[in-house]
Amino acid sequence: MFEGLSTRFSEVFGSLRKKGRITESDIDSTCVELRTALLEADVALSVVDSFIARVREKSLTALVDIRQSTNQSQEIYGIINQELIAILGGAARRIRFSKNPPTVIMLAGLQGSGKTTLAGKLARFLKDDGNTPLLVAADLQRPNAVTQLSVLADSVKVPIFAPEPGNGVGDPVRVAKDAIRFAQEKLHNIVIIDTAGRLGVDAELMKQASDIRDAVSPDEILFVVDAMIGQDAVRTAQSFADGVGFDAVVLTKLDGDAKGGAALSIAEITGKPILFTSTGEKLSDFDYFYPDRMASRILGMGDIQTLAEQAKKALDGDSAKRLEEKFATGEDFTLEDFLEQLQAMKKMGSMTKLLGMLPGANNAAMKKQIDSLDDKELVRTQAIVQSMTPEERRNPKVLNGSRRSRIARGSGRTVTEVNSLVDRFSAAQKVMKQMRGGGGLPPGVSLPPGVSLPAGMGLPAAPVRAKNSGAPKKKSKSGNPARRAAEEGRS
């Protein structure tokens, strides 16, 4: 979503780095470029003006100290990063749990914002964190809303309270009140109430939301916003804040191709923090919102923390420990280990999305490489490995022509693809052995640009001869054939 804005920011910082010594004029021109970039990203004018004013004021105030720095552009970058975090809400917030369970979370938003799907994602997220959530179908207006929530509840294995069929039948206020009693009886510590979506500022449905709020006194009212609708999201959120009120915002469809102005405007204008974000269609594409991480991604510095957390979730501790022990003891990395890694990577999601979290992912060269990636390649590779027998995975050397032909047929791939996978895996094994011995990379194998080996795994140092070791110094041979023959005769 922030791809265009991130590219523009990179261009601004690139020109600033070329300045060397920063002047007041440089700060002014940088602020003008930043203002243009933010307005093009559909950020609210009031937010842009206040952001630029704070950046300019702080940069000019610190200009004397900035000029004493060896990297003056980096100091300006730090100020911009701080202010960007501020307009995104500052510190990350968490759900406020009730002292007396159940904690009641009420969801509200426009129709089409992805509210019902988000209810399922939130239930799954809280369940994975050790809670016992209950979904409540209080959206009795939209056709099949109750059915949709029931399907989601079944898929995430979370119970649902749905006494009414919906489709215009039933009293949502009574459903919400009865759900609280049901949760107390069944010992659910969280209740998630899905309410009817609004078509713009609908007075009747706004009154219904107020009645549900007054009936159940929710601990959290979360306003669900489609991040792709731009400034309309901000205006709707402001209207809902005035009519009903809410405690935090949830941004959906953050993986879309819109400009992202809503995400950068809504927290500043409403004064309410962004609590969660939904970044994909899968029920697992959901997490807390981190202003500092989002600012880092917008500024082209990636999001290594989120990437590391996703990797930790995908690869269980026992697997990671076993692979680490294998590497330390010198045991060969097998295709079975490789298959385990592939399955973990699939759990982490799209490779394009993951690589987009790396620093510099928005520069033209790296972006072109990321865009050329085919996420289905993991599936094809996994199919080839799964078509092998356990013996073949543990010892690829037994893979003769007939075996490779059988694997190709079983995986639906070609023999050439099977050969390519086996060759690349053998090369990777050699690299790991060489690195384990501290010998660096084998001849003809190079790492991608910007990637370096860990400490202790570089190329071996040249042998150093001890002083006065007494070892005879070997004489060099002459390049002249006659002289060399004479020297060999004397020896």
Q: What is the pLDDT of residue 361?
A: 55
Binned average pLDDT, 10 residues per bin, the chain of 491 residues: 75 79 88 89 87 92 82 84 88 89 91 87 94 94 92 95 90 94 94 82 77 93 83 76 86 72 80 88 87 81 60 62 65 75 68 61 58 71 89 88 92 90 81 61 43 37 38 49 55 49
Q: What is the pLDDT of residue 188?
A: 95
Q: What is the pLDDT of residue 442?
A: 46
CATH number of this structure's domain 103-301: 3.40.50.300
Structure tokens at 301: 């510095």
State which fold the 308-436 domain adopts.
Answer: 434 Repressor (Amino-terminal Domain) (1.10.260)
Q: What Å distances lie between residue 184 and 6, 153, 274, 448, CA to CA?
A: 47, 19, 29, 57
Strands 286-288 and 274-278: antiparallel
| Measured distance CA(155)–CA(134) in Å, rounded | 14
Predicted model pTM: 0.66
Q: What is the pLDDT of residue 74?
A: 81
Please report which helix (H) or strand (E) contains residue 137, including its range: strand 133-137
Q: What is the pLDDT of residue 488?
A: 54
State the CATH architecture for 3-87: Up-down Bundle (1.20)
Domain chopping of the chain, boundaries: 3-87, 103-301, 308-436
Q: What is the pLDDT of residue 446?
A: 44
Note whether 3-87 and 103-301 share their fold. no
Q: What is the pLDDT of residue 73?
A: 80
Q: Look at residues 237, 309, 300, 282 and name the one whose alpha carbon lies nearest to residue 92.
A: 309
